[in-house]
Amino acid sequence: MSKLSKSTKTISKGKAKRVAFIPDVHYPLACNKAVEKVMGALEALQPSRIYQIGDLGDFEMFSRFPKDPRTQQGLDETLEMCEDFLLHLIS
């Protein structure tokens, strides 16, 4: 069982008043500076709901597009980066 599935923290109860949408992170290709800014904005806004709406991982190993050998990660490493990001969102 993953660390994420063990988490029981509820982000909010009742009606959502402030919502954040996070698209296209693309781990392991994510820009760390941009991710830090997003996390800072979330901390300041304190949204009652956060939706990660796709492309959290880049998964180059399955892509039909050209691969950059400097950024290639294995599946396990990419999944771990994605899980860490999601855990940080709910902590």
Q: Measured between alpha carbons, how far is 4 from 73 in angstroms, rounded to an integer?
A: 21
pLDDT at 14 over 70: no
Under a CB-based contact definition with an 8 Å cutoff, are residues 49 and 16 in contact? yes
Supply the pLDDT for residue 8: 43
pLDDT recorded at residue 17: 80
Residue 74 has pLDDT above 80, yes or no: yes
Taking the CA atoms of 68, 70, 71 and 76 in sequence, report the sign of the dihedral they define: positive
Return the higher-pLDDT residue of 82 and 71: 82
Name the percent of the chain lying above pLDDT 70: 82
